[in-house]
Amino acid sequence: MRKSSISKFIAVGVVMFVVGLAVGSAAQFFVGPLSTRLLSGLGMPVDPGLAKLVNAYNMVLSRHVENELDTDAIIEGGIRGLLSKVDGGFTRYENREEVLRRQETDTGEYAGIGVSVRMVEEQVNIESVFRGSPAQGAGLLARDIIIGVNGEAIRGMLLTDVTDIIKGTPGTDVKLTILRPSQNSTFEVTITRARIIIPLVEYEVFENGLAHVVLSQFLPNAVDQMRLTLLELNGLGVTDIVLDMRFNGGGYTDVVEKIADFFLPANLVIYQSKDRDGKIVQYTTRNQPIFTGTTHVLLNSSSASATEILAGALRDHLGSEIMGETSYGKGTVQTGYSLGDGSRVWITTMTYLTPNGTDINKKGIVPDVDIPQDFEALPQLDTQLRDALEHVRTGMVSRP
């Protein structure tokens, strides 16, 4: 009799466990948080945190005084809020309109003031300032925080709404309130909007085979522009390049891989990626270089991501001298995943290392030659570039 009772008890337990597995993942949508925690404690596949979120959502819908709430906006806001706590805004959500805007920006032309921004805990952070833009002329810097537009606070607004206000007809003004954490100061600045045509690659040739080459962003068009530039410089007898990647906030990894090919011999590691399981993948060059002279690299605190990949590869393999300031320190790679309705989520899927295995995340690339920028002299005089060119010229003269 006792043996039979135990068998029945075990059988009932097994049935309950199987049923729990079948409905456990859905239980959080139908039961309260207390029940969910109990099921979780019994090993059922439920997430008490998700149950809390879903219950809060259902509670608002069932009890709010307004019967018709915008559920799409609530869900979108919830996704943004969730991702903002992941890794400082690098893992992020883009709705359909934002995806289309990014595709427009990737062409290298738009109307605005010339900054790239991202949302970090409901604050609009300037990630990079485009060279020659109205924003640079007004003295804006990477890591500045936009806290107001035209006298109105913007905290809590969607990033797309903020950028829509900042953009406008070329020739019109927009007034920004800026928080500069590095100086613990707040100030207002009025900037005249312009048609921003991002010059992805520009160059100027000086005497004695020296050229200044500016690479502004790692967007698709930069590949052909850099290829043509280097071929032209070869034809002009250039032997030394100052590769200026200041204010370059990065771009696409496939673009930096192709551009690295123009400087490095084949079969060399450009960078190494490491995923969540610790798996390391090496990305290598495939072709012989276009430019075989000496490449010097100029960076500042706005130089980030793909810029740091290329700078690290040039230093590790060619011994390229890094000049300027310590770079931003973004050693992570984001991958975009479609959510099926035109929106997508960018998820930090990898960290990366330089070819020699150096981790620059949150550290940046420290220059071999420290050359600060005199921001009071900008935009009339770029003292950092002047001093970098003079440093290179001095080294060229002293060569055997």
Are 136 and 247 spatial neighbours (Cβ–Cβ below 8 Å)?
yes
- Could you tell me the two tokens for 84? 């903002």
Q: What is the pLDDT of residue 17?
A: 39
> What are the backbone dihedrals phi and psi of residue 199, each rounded to the nearest 5 degrees, phi first?
-80, 95
Give 96-105+109-196's CATH code, choosing from 2.40.50.320, 1.10.150.80, 2.30.42.10, 1.10.8.100. Answer: 2.30.42.10
Q: Which residues pair with 180 in a beta bridge?
A: 185
Q: Which helix (H) or strand (E) holds 307?
A: helix 306-318
pTM given for the model: 0.72
Q: Are 294 and 341 in contact (CB under 8 A)?
A: no
The per-residue pLDDT string of the chain (400 residues; one tens digit each, 9 = 90 and over) reads 334 444 444 444 434 433 443 344 444 444 455 555 555 555 555 677 787 888 899 999 999 999 889 999 999 988 988 898 899 889 999 999 889 878 877 776 778 999 988 888 889 999 878 878 899 899 999 889 999 999 999 998 988 899 999 999 999 999 999 999 989 999 999 999 999 877 689 999 999 999 999 999 999 999 999 999 999 999 999 999 999 999 899 999 999 999 999 999 999 999 999 999 999 999 999 999 999 999 999 999 989 999 999 999 999 999 999 999 999 999 999 999 999 999 999 999 999 999 999 999 999 999 999 999 887 776 678 899 999 999 999 988 655 4
Burial class (CB in 10 A: 0-12, 13-18, 19+), 59: exposed
Residue 58, token pair as written in the block = 């259902």
Q: Which residues contact 226 (CB under 8 A, 6 or more apart)?
A: 200, 201, 215, 259, 262
DSSP 95-164: -HHHHHHHHHHTTTEEEESSEEEEEETTEEEEEEE-TTSHHHHTT--TT-EEEEETTEE-TTS-HHHHHH
pLDDT given for residue 170 in this prediction: 93
The pLDDT score that the predictor gives to residue 34 is: 56
- The span from the CA of 351 to the CA of 305, in Å, is 10
Q: How far is CA 196 from the centre of its chain?
A: 20
**pLDDT score at 374:** 84
Residue that is written with structure tokens 């900008």 in the block: 378
Opening angle at CA 324, ends 320 and 328, nearest 5: 95
**What pLDDT shows up at residue 119?**
87
Would residue 102 be called left, alpha or beta, if left means φ above 0 and alpha means ψ between -120 and 50 degrees? alpha
Q: Hey, which bits of 159-316 come out as E strands?
A: 173-180, 185-192, 194-197, 201-205, 210-215, 240-244, 269-274, 280-284, 294-299
Phi, psi of 112 (to 5 degrees): 170, -145
- SS3 (DSSP) at 290: coil
Alpha carbon distance 297, 303 (integer Å): 11
DSSP 336-400: EEE-SSS-EEEEEEEEEE-TT----TTT-PPPSEE----TTTTTT--HHHHHHHHHHHHHHHT--
Tell me the β-bridge partners of 389.
none
Please, are residues 385 and 244 in contact by the beta-carbon 8 Å criterion? yes
Show Cβ contacts of residue 4 under 8 Å, excluding neighbours closer than 6 positions.
Answer: none
pLDDT of residue 146: 97
Distance CA 148, CA 188 (A): 9
- Tell me how many degrees the CA angle 150-155-161 measures, rounded to the nearest 5: 65
Domain boundaries, the chain: 2-69, 96-105+109-196, 199-397
Written as six digits, the tokens of 132 are 């020659």
- Identical fold for domains 96-105+109-196 and 199-397, yes or no, is no
Query: Are 113 and 133 contacting, i.e. CB atoms less than 8 angstroms apart?
Result: yes
Please list the residues that pair with 67 across neighbouring strands. Answer: none
330 contacts: CB under 8 Å, gap ≥ 6: 90, 250, 304, 305, 308, 361
What topology does CATH give the domain 199-397?
2-enoyl-CoA Hydratase; Chain A, domain 1 (3.90.226)
Q: How far is residue 356's CA from residue 22's CA, in Å, rounded to a whole number?
A: 49
